[in-house]
Structure 1
Amino acid sequence: MPTQRALHLYRKTQNDSDSDRVQQHAPLVKKIAYHMVARLPASVEVDDLIQVGLMGLMEATRNFDPNAGVQFETFAAQRIRGAMLDELRSADWMPRQTRRNMREIDAAVHKLEQEYGRAPLEAEVAKSLDLPLDEYQQRLGDARGHQLLYYDDFDSEDGSNDTLDQFVADHSANPLEAMSDAGFRKLLVAGLDLLPEREKLVMALYYDEELNLKEIGAVLGVSESRVSQLHSQAIARLRSKVKDWLAR
């Protein structure tokens, strides 16, 4: 495997302490990669993320300062995730049509929630979009990586801000600072509480328990692709709440 070859080459060029540290924390790279890939389209290969993340781990090993007051695993996780994000930022990983499809789903969910006073069923959303249920679910699966907040959600009506939503979410990015707003957090908690039980469980297992899609599928007894659909549907419902909050 390429990962094993990279580790072998690294061990040959570094001292025993550094190479042992890389070997010890290599599973961390895999964990972060599998967690991140769940937010990305199926065209993104997890092995590619692992390779890039491994380079981030090697860099972390070279640059770690034990006197800085931070644990190595915390420091390494930041470097690993940063390396993966940098790589992803070099590519337009979500096709425009897929983005457009999810915008339409967002709008349909928002409209139906206002009309029904509850979370609409998948079949109801599909009907409102004049789509067969299986095609609607396919669009949800294709939109893996759809985020809760985008930079262009903060655009003015004339679209003066640059569109940066082609990139995967960076948890240090400014839009996510909005989550520190007490009103937003209250709205988000309420939105999560209103999710259908299965979608609520998917969100809890993914974000709280940090399981990947395959592991969540095993818990729910469904396929990995179905988990992806449920995740995208939950994000669409939450974005409906976000739109209300942004319109204040």
Structure 2
Amino acid sequence: MARLPASVDIDDLIQVGMIGLNEALTRYDPAQGVQFETFASQRIRGAMLDELRDGDWLSRSSRKQQKDIEAAVQRLEQRLQRAPRESEIALELGLSLPEYQEMLGRVRGSQLVYLEDLTGGTEDEPFLDRFLPADEGANPQAQLSVQRMRAALVEGINKLPEREQHVMSMYYEHDMNLKEIAAVLGVTESRVSQLHSQSIARLRARLRAH
């Protein structure tokens, strides 16, 4: 669950995993010399990843734009040693501020964790795999890595600009929708969506830096 975006229905995923378990029961051959637990885990994980892949709706172009924003944020944080302003991110991307805000609108719904972070995607090493190995419970070092990722995430949220901190708190801690957040902040829903997308890009950039 720590790896999944909030949009994923956990009950549906568990049901898919049960189907994978049933397939493992019918296909397992002890003569192959593999323990059932190992064989079943692979079938269950594979079934779940197939389900996630089918539901990974964010377009490839939108995903690329989100990564471009993340990379710009990371470069600016290294140079400036602080959270870059919105206008600075736009300049780094070679865009005007309205063009950058339009881009943020196009990546609306971006998540902290993407399917490619679970499966490898197009990068050499998915950054979450450095923190969340497949067999977390059996490895004390893996548990330490989970704690490091969580600590980095908390640190990243605390270093967000104040308005973005408020957006993340209202959205994730208080389960407020965009319309409710917009009313509190006195801005439009589209502006809240932009701030949310920008916050996610900042957090992913910070996690990559770790």
TM over 0.5: yes
Q: CA deviation at 1:183?
A: 1.1
- Report the counterpart of residue 81 of structure 2 in structure 1: 117
Task: Say yes or no: does 1:142 pair with 2:106.
Answer: yes
Name the SS of the counterpart of 1:218 in structure 2: helix
TM-score, normalised by the number of residues in structure 2: 0.63
Task: Say yes or no: does 1:238 pair with 2:199.
Answer: no
Cα distance in structure 1, aligned partners of 2:56 and 2:153: 28
Q: Deviation string for 1:13-54 (max 9, x for gaps)?
A: xxxxxxxxxxxxxxxxxxxxxxx6xx79xxxxxxxxxxxxxx
Name the SS of the counterpart of 1:188 in structure 2: helix
Task: Say yes or no: does 1:94 pair with 2:58.
Answer: yes
Which runs of 5 or more residues in structure 1 are unaligned?
1-35, 41-55, 57-85, 162-173
- Report the counterpart of residue 182 of structure 1 in structure 2: 147
Q: Deviation string for 1:132-189 (max 9, x for gaps)?
A: 111111111111121212343363987598xxxxxxxxxxxx7xx9898111111111
Q: Which is worse superposed, 195-204 or 151-160?
A: 151-160
Q: Is the 8 A contact 2:65 2:103 kept in 1?
A: yes
Which runs of 5 or more residues in structure 2 are unaligned?
1-5, 13-49, 127-133
Cα distance in structure 2, aligned partners of 1:159 and 1:190: 26
- Report the counterpart of residue 214 of structure 1 in structure 2: 179
Q: Deviation string for 1:184-238 (max 9, x for gaps)?
A: 1111111111000000000000011100011000000000000000000000000
Q: CA deviation at 1:92?
A: 5.2
Q: Is the 8 A contact 2:112 2:203 kept in 1?
A: yes
| Structure 1 residues 200 and 123: CA distance shift in structure 2, 3 A | same
Could you tell me which amino acid in structure 1 is paired with residue 68 of structure 2?
E
- Report the counterpart of residue 194 of structure 1 in structure 2: 159
Could you tell me which amino acid in structure 1 is paired with residue 167 of structure 2?
V
The count of corresponding residues between Structure 1 and Structure 2 is 158
Could you tell me which amino acid in structure 2 is paired with residue 146 of structure 1?
S
| Structure 1 residues 158 and 211: CA distance shift in structure 2, 3 A | closer
Could you tell me which amino acid in structure 2 is paired with residue 220 of structure 1?
L
| Mapping for residues 19-30 of structure 1, pairs under 5 Å | none
Cα distance in structure 2, aligned partners of 1:91 and 1:217: 28
- Report the counterpart of residue 92 of structure 2 in structure 1: 128
Name the SS of the counterpart of 1:149 in structure 2: coil
Cα distance in structure 2, aligned partners of 1:87 and 1:218: 36
Cα distance in structure 2, aligned partners of 1:140 and 1:157: 22
Could you tell me which amino acid in structure 2 is paired with residue 99 of structure 1?
R
- Kindly report structure 1 stretches of 4+ aligned residues shifted beyond 4 Å: 86-92, 156-161, 177-180
Aligned CA-pair RMSD: 3.8
Name the SS of the counterpart of 1:181 in structure 2: helix
Task: Say yes or no: does 1:229 pair with 2:194.
Answer: yes
Cα distance in structure 2, aligned partners of 1:92 and 1:240: 21
Cα distance in structure 2, aligned partners of 1:137 and 1:195: 18
